[in-house]
Amino acid sequence: MPRIAVTIPYFDFFPEIKEELEAAYPGTKFPPTRARLTEDELIAYLKGHDAAIIGLDRFTDKVCAALPELKVVSLCSAGVDHIDPAILNKYGIKMYWAAGINKVSVAELALCYMVFTLRRAHFFSQILYRGEWKGPVGFGGDLRGKTVGIHGCGHIGKELVKLLQPHGVKILACDRVDISEFCEANGVESVGFDELLARSDVLTIHLSRNKTTLGIYDAKTLGKMKRGAVLINVARGSMVDEAALKERLDSGHISGAAFDVFHVEPANGNPLLDVPNFFASPHIGATTRESWAMMLRSGVHGVARAYRQEPGVYPFD
């Protein structure tokens, strides 16, 4: 029977799943605090354990070298950009991760933010909170009739297509892999990146964070976006040049944006938070009970299903 240590504190919110884990692996160790463990704390906590069920913990060379008994790392997180498979392979550690497990929650949030941004709900809400409910304050726009561009048509992008179809929009999709079959079957137009930028009234990012996507929305790229478009990012930070985005929001070239992710998180003090046509949330894309229940159960199931990861093979660069 493997000795299991859990580093993620969310099992306390789901006692029924915690009971399932303890029934499957008696003696499972749970974290005493909800604080993220430092490198040294992670080593001390996992000493003597065969498997770890984790969230966003980083298994560096130092950590893995100090844990010779550790053979399995099972992720409850939606992404894997905090894991280096080469380091795990170096120390004979297998990994498990379930792609797209939070796709419904993230796709719903993206759709919500499209409507929210087009309707300028954040701007109008601020007026109300300031007690300025008086006179004409401008207009928002409808989603119906717009062209929505989806950059990254994987699990979440495909789920978003399903959600968008009843809304009377034209859907464009761009991906680095061939998505022509999916697009043809779902009434979506597959386009190149420049065409996506030029034609989208609403552009929503659903890319994985890797070396090919870091900084992809730089000043030049943002300048190619259709004037008056809105930009949604509920994927990962570090893909968008935030200073360049602020300039285009201030000028009105981009009429509004809604982000759930940032280059530096927490994003407290980020200059974008002071821009009236920018809405932000603190990385809540998967923060639903439904998504977290699935992610935690996935972490439990992954202890027995872990396998060797290959650098350069999806989901890695």
pTM: 0.93
Tell me the CATH class for 103-280: alpha beta
Residue 33: the pLDDT is 85
Tell me the CATH class for 4-100+288-302: alpha beta
Residue 52: the pLDDT is 98
Q: What is the distance between the alpha carbons of residues 309 and 11, in angstroms, rounded to a whole number?
A: 26
The answer to whether 236 is a known catalytic residue is yes
Sequential DSSP letters for 246-257: HHHHHHTSEEEE
pLDDT beneath 70, residues of the chain? 135
Residue 68: the pLDDT is 97
**Would you kindly state where each structural domain of the chain is located, as residue ranges?**
4-100+288-302, 103-280
Residue 210: the pLDDT is 86
The answer to whether 308 is a known catalytic residue is no
Angle in degrees, CA 231, 110, 180, rounded to 5: 85
Residue 244: the pLDDT is 98
Quick one: DSSP state of residue 2?
A: -
Unique residue bearing structure tokens 């993230």: 106
List 49, 151, 236, 248, catalytic entry:
236
Amino acid identity, position 30 = F
Residue 160: the pLDDT is 98
List 19, 184, 265, 310, catalytic entry:
265
